[in-house]
Amino acid sequence: MIGGRTQSCNDGAVDRDAVIKAKQSEVLLRVMSAIVLVTIALSATYAGNWSFVALVAAAAIVMSWEWSAMTCRAHKDLGFFALAGVALTAAFIAGARWPVAAFGVVAAAALLAGLLAARFDRLIWIAAGALFIGLPVVALIWLRHLPGYGWWSVCFVFAVVWATDSAAYATGRILGGAKLSPHLSPNKTWSGFFGGLLAANLVGMAFALAPVPGSTLSLVFLASALSVAAQMGDLTESAIKRKFETKDAGSLIPGHGGLLDRVDGLAFAVLAAAGLALLAASGAQGQGIFF
């Protein structure tokens, strides 16, 4: 009996050690993948022009495949070609400095798919995908091309989203607590939400030291708005994955899942940034997204 108990205790210790090592490996893999992605994103953003358009277009292709595989399983090839065609067309039109025309392409494609969905119900997800992928593509390229502070505008959005995602994940894992929306995403917590929001506020304060227009208060307000938008985007994609009983949108990024899993928050945040810039006319005044 004593020997049996000893063996059971040893087995339990080995299992705990294995779990700890697996978690450490997962964290390391996430960190290394994030470093690679950040390096690629910032390099292309700094280069600007068609280098940036090419990066956004490549991301749109991957996102189109993941979206169609998740939502249109029986017709994923058709869905992919439709979504990728819309996203690529919009990206290159926006890259040619015609953002209104690019927006029109996305809107027309979504409207057409929505109208046809009355007969082919799966097309409603093509319409949703055209908006979910196409609109952020146009907004991101438009932001980068804003005169004066396009580079800083995109960097600000990136920094806020990355800080929000990382802090929300870490805070939620460490503190746990009440669920943010258990019927949409069982893993997200209020502690994670406020942890991400706090991290975004710190980014806003840090950018007050950068050569960008706007007061510290306006930068914190902007960061808070983008953080909330990013977390809503994350929650939206979680709800879609739950509807289609999918854990991850893909497996492209080691430790993270698919590209959609990484840029869902960015998609909503960049739309919020573009909307605020248009509302405040800061882009037209050469201030980028900064008020």
pLDDT tens digits, one per residue of 79-119: 899 999 999 999 999 999 999 999 999 999 999 998 888 77
Same domain, 100 and 198: no
Q: Is residue 269's pLDDT more than 70?
A: yes
Give the lowest-confidence range in 3-7, 116-120, 169-173: 3-7
Same domain, 275 and 153: yes
Same domain, 153 and 192: yes
Stretch 14-24: mean pLDDT: 58
Same domain, 107 and 43: no
Stretch 226-255: mean pLDDT: 83
Region for residue 210 given its phi and psi (left: phi exceeds 0; alpha: psi -120 to 50; beta: otherwise): beta
* Nearest partner of 113 among 99, 132, 95, 96, judged by Cα: 132
Q: Mark which of 145, 166, 183 sits at the end of a domain.
A: 145
Give the lowest-confidence range in 58-62, 167-171, 228-232: 167-171
Q: Which residue range forms the structural domain that includes residue 200?
A: 148-291
Of 246 and 220, more confident? 220
The pLDDT value recorded for residue 8 is 53
- Compute the chain's Rg from CA coordinates: 21
Please, are residues 66 and 94 in contact by the beta-carbon 8 Å criterion? no
d(CA 113, CA 92): 21
Q: Is 7 exposed, middle or buried (0-12, 13-18, 19+ CB in 10 A)?
A: exposed
Same domain, 208 and 74: no
The pLDDT value recorded for residue 122 is 73
Per-residue pLDDT band for 233 (boundaries 50, 70, 90) equals very high
Tokens of 210: 């950068």
Per-residue pLDDT band for 23 (boundaries 50, 70, 90) equals low
Same domain, 182 and 216: yes
Same domain, 154 and 275: yes
The pLDDT value recorded for residue 177 is 85
Mean pLDDT score across all residues of the chain: 86
d(CA 127, CA 61): 16
Same domain, 165 and 288: yes
The pLDDT value recorded for residue 216 is 94
Same domain, 233 and 163: yes
- For residue 99, report the phi and psi dihedrals to the nearest 5 degrees: -65, -35
Tokens of 43: 């390099």
* Model confidence, pTM: 0.88
* Nearest partner of 171 among 149, 193, 187, judged by Cα: 193
